[in-house]
Amino acid sequence: MEQQDPGTDASRRPIKARGNALVRRIASALASSPLTPNAISVLSIVFAGAAALLWLPPWGAWLCALGIQLRLLCNLFDGMVAVEGGKSTPTGALYNEVPDRIADSLLLVALGYAAGLPWAGWAAALFAALTAYVRTLGGALGLAQDFRGPMAKQHRMALMTLACLVTPFEAMFAGSRHVLVVVVLVIAAGSLLTCATRLRAIARQLEAAR
């Protein structure tokens, strides 16, 4: 989510899809509709909640993959409608962050339970939230927000989507869920590492500014 003023490009997540002609046409149509960017942001929670049906065996994982992608489309279009569509609001910054944290938590906690490792899902959700906290902390300190990985939001969701697509086949042919176990542990560890890399970058910038 990225509802920022047009002049604050440094605070927007770099997304190549914004330049896609079809994406821009859809964003323009949404901007011309009664739908607000804040409503699109909230809709991402709805899709994430539906995606949390990952635990339903065995084909629920494919529904989860679809929900994740719909959630990401909301994350793309809310910012485009707000900025390029000229419909930004004073509360956009809140809708920019809060629904994203809720959606992330719903998905990652569900992933942990589906993998049979609830603690890993909660840990992944916590560390994912911390990556966003560190990013916004850098912004609050006057620095450009740092969207680097190795496990930024787009990386977490891509990995989880891949796991959701593979899981039904693993369950059918092997009767196991090793992919889910590996993915939730990788997301948790990678998110923690992302916090460290972002904090290190912030510290270096602050030291260089002295």
pLDDT of residue 209: 83
Determine the pLDDT at residue 58.
Answer: 63
Q: How many domains does the chain have?
A: 1
Split at pLDDT 50, 70, 90, the class of 3 is: very low
Q: Which pLDDT does position 5 carry in this prediction?
A: 38
How many CA atoms are closer than 13 Å to the CA of 96, on its beta-carbon side? 22
Residue 30 lies in a domain: yes
The answer to whether residue 10 scores a pLDDT higher than 60 is no
CA separation for the pair 93, 11 (Å, rounded): 11
The pLDDT of residue 27: 84
Whether the upstream peptide bond of residue 6 has omega within 30° of 0, thus cis, is no
pLDDT score of 4 more than 70: no
What value, to the nearest 5°, has the Cα angle with vertex 152 and ends 138 and 114? Answer: 135
What per-residue string of b and e applies to 45-56 under the rule 16 or more CB within 10 Å gives b? bebbbbbbebee
Domain-located, residue 142 = yes
Band the pLDDT of 24: cuts 50, 70, 90: confident
Q: Is residue 152, in this structure, part of any structural domain at all?
A: yes
Centroid of chain to Cα 199 = 19
**What is the C-alpha separation between 164 and 66, in angstroms, rounded?**
9
Q: At 196, which CATH number?
A: 1.20.120.1760
**Residue 66: inside a domain, yes or no?**
yes
193 found inside a domain: yes
Residue 35 CA to residue 78 CA, distance in Å, equals: 10
Structural domain includes residue 199 = yes
Examine residue 4 and state whether it is found in any structural domain, yes or no: no
Residue numbers of the domain that contains 153: 9-208
Mean pLDDT of 164-190: 93
**110: three-class secondary structure by DSSP:** helix
Residue 131 lies in a domain: yes
For residue 119, name the pLDDT band (cuts at 50, 70, 90): very high
Residue type, 164: C
Inter-residue contact 137 to 205 (CB < 8 Å): no
